[in-house]
């Protein structure tokens, strides 16, 4: 008897009746192969589609009244609830009983940081009972319930996190993330057409790619899977190709052998960022301007790409938090600017640690494509650059070809 398989389907996979048929086929196929399948669904379609998350947000945000985060989460959670019943009915039409479960009903307990909540614990009892009763649990992705009983959401793209959290709690054999591309690729194929599917990558590489902008998987989803050693597969809903395995460098038990030895695994970018520059009113008092970090931390705004110099402090924030950041800085005594002209491009690879010449190659590639570098930063698996927004695609393509990633 096979074990539990968690299968998550993203927005585009559920957008049309035809797509949903492909989804139902995948689920039934796995049931027929002997798995106990737990299904996780996102809201159906992307912006513009009637029940997509962005469409729901726009329904309320276009009114002039501020929507409070609790109400916004309540609204956003509806998309997945609709999808769970629609997919469930699709299963029923093909002879499989189902139980649609909200995040709360599936036992996903979170903190109360609306809009970007973290999972505190998962109580999968109801899911296990549903499986026991020979029904397919169809769980709404992207949402949970706070300890106070409020509906919360896990951050945009957070259905992936629901899937791996359930996978971990249920000791699933595997979590399959079905989407509209064939796996994790060396770059976003919309920006780099030569991008190639990676057969397998380590949790660390996947996590880093996701944090640096590769939205094919949510970074927290990978973190949870890594902690609990649950393998993830990213695959296309619409083809039979094997996709990408994300797992440990070596797992005898799961018979997976991955070598994180490529110098560079992939390139990615984050364009939804705003650059903040903070200056002290008097240059000799720059230490006081460091207080800006406390102000932002108190408001739960995370900062990235930080550079502290006597004359200026710079960092980036998520673009959707730019207005709030400005509001907070306006109350301080610092001079500041917030702009949207620059974006972050990153090169990720577990094998580049200590390898000489990697940075030189990157700088050469960018220079050759006339991409100006405004700032750089690095960690042991990643080197990132701040470049002009208009240079995003040129930078990605130059770096992709410099490291022969298409081969
Ligand atoms: P879903 O709705 O299925 O969750 P997403 O839109 O969240 O799908 O993620 C899939 C998209 O991620 C792809 O269509 C692709 O454009 C984008 N993407 C960005 N970087 C990568 C990458 N490195 N590999 C694959 N896809 C990527
Ligand atoms: N529907 C949610 C979003 O659009 C969650 C997800 O798709 O993973 O962000
Ligand atoms: Mg997604």
pLDDT at 339: 93
- The percent of residues in the chain predicted with pLDDT above 90, rounded, is 82
- Over residues 277-302, the pLDDT tens digits come to 998 777 666 667 788 999 999 988 99
Q: Name the residue of 215, 220, 232, 399 to mutate for ligand 1: max ligand atoms within 8 A of Cβ.
A: 215
How far is residue 161's CA from residue 143's CA, in Å, rounded to a whole number? 9
State in Å: Cα 365 to ligand 2 middle: 35
Between 101 and 64, the higher pLDDT residue = 101
Quote the distance between the C-alpha of residue 289 and its chain's center: 32
The answer to whether the beta carbons of residues 215 and 237 sit under 8 Å apart is no
Which ligand is closest to the CA of 235, given by its number?
A: 1
pLDDT at 286: 64
- Tell me which range, 130-144, 259-273, 292-306, is most confidently predicted by mean pLDDT: 130-144
pLDDT at 350: 81
Phi and psi, residue 247, nearest 5°: -155, -170
Which ligand is closest to the CA of 181, given by its number?
A: 1
The answer to whether the beta carbons of residues 191 and 269 sit under 8 Å apart is yes
Task: Name the residue among 89, 99, 85 with its Cα closest to residue 38.
Answer: 99
Q: Domain coordinates of the chain in residue numbers?
A: 4-180
- Give 334's DSSP letter: -
Q: Name the residue of 15, 86, 158 to mutate for ligand 2: max ligand atoms within 8 A of Cβ.
A: 158
3-state secondary structure of 159: helix
Nearest atom, ligand 1, residue 178 CA: 3
Take atom 5 of ligand 2 and give the residue whose Cα is closest. 157
For helices 203-211 and 219-228, the axis angle rounded to 10 degrees is 160
Q: Does residue 157's CB lie within 6 angstroms of at least one atom of ligand 2? A: yes
The correct CATH number of 4-180 out of 3.40.50.800, 3.40.50.300, 3.40.1160.10, 1.10.4080.10 is 3.40.1160.10
State in Å: Cα 299 to ligand 2 middle: 24
Q: How confident is the model at residue 102 (pLDDT cuts 50, 70, 90)?
A: very high
pLDDT at 282: 73
pLDDT at 309: 85
pLDDT at 310: 81
pLDDT at 63: 65
Quote the distance between the C-alpha of residue 323 and its chain's center: 22
Which ligand is closest to the CA of 178, given by its number?
A: 1
Complete DSSP assignment for 240-282: ----EEEE-SEETTTTEE-----S--EEEEE-SEEEEEEE-SS
Ion ligand 3: residue ranges with CB closer than 5 A: 10, 157
| Statement: residue 2 has pLDDT above 90 | no
pTM, two decimal places: 0.93
């Amino acid at each position: 008897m096979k074990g539990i398989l968690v299968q998550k389907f993203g927005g585009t996979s559920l957008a049309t009746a035809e797509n949903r048929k492909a989804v139902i086929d995948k689920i039934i196929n796995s049931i027929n192969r002997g798995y106990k399948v737990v299904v996780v669904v996102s809201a159906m379609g992307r912006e513009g589609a009637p029940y997509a998350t962005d469409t729901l947000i726009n329904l309320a945000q276009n009114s002039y009244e501020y929507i409070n985060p609790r109400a916004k989460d309540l609204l956003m959670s509806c998309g997945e609830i609709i999808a769970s019943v629609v997919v469930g009915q699709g299963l029923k039409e093909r002879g499989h009983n189902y139980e649609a479960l909200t995040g709360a009903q599936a036992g996903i307990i979170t903190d109360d940081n609306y809009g970007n909540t973290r999972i505190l614990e998962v109580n999968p009892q109801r899911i296990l009972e549903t499986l026991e009763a020979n029904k397919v649990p169809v769980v709404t992705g992207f949402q949970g319930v706070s300890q106070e009983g409020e509906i919360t959401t896990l951050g945009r793209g957070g259905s992936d996190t629901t899937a791996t959290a359930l996978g971990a709690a249920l000791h699933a054999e595997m979590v399959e993330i079905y989407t509209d591309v064939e796996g994790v690729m060396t770059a976003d194929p919309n920006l780099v057409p030569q991008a190639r599917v990676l057969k397998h990558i380590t949790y660390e590489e996947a996590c880093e790619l996701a944090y640096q902008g590769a939205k094919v998987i949510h970074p927290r989803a990978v973190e949870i899977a890594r902690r609990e050693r649950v393998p993830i597969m990213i695959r296309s809903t619409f083809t039979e190709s094997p996709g990408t395995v994300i797992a440990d460098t070596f797992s005898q038990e799961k018979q997976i052998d991955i070598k994180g030895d490529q110098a560079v695994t992939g390139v990615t970018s984050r364009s939804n960022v705003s650059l903040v520059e903070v200056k002290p009113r008097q240059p000799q008092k720059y230490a006081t301007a460091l207080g800006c970090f406390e102000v932002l931390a108190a408001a739960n705004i995370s900062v990235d790409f930080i550079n502290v110099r006597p004359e200026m402090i710079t960092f980036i924030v998520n673009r959707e938090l730019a207005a709030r950041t400005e509001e907070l800085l306006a109350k301080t005594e610092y001079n500041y600017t917030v702009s949207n002209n620059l974006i972050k491009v990153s090169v990720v690879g577990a094998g580049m640690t200590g390898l000489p010449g990697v940075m030189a190659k990157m700088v050469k590639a960018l220079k050759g494509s006339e991409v100006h570098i405004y700032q750089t930063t690095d960690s042991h698996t990643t080197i990132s650059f701040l470049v002009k927004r208009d240079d995003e695609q040129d930078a990605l393509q130059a770096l992709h070809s410099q490291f022969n990633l298409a081969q």
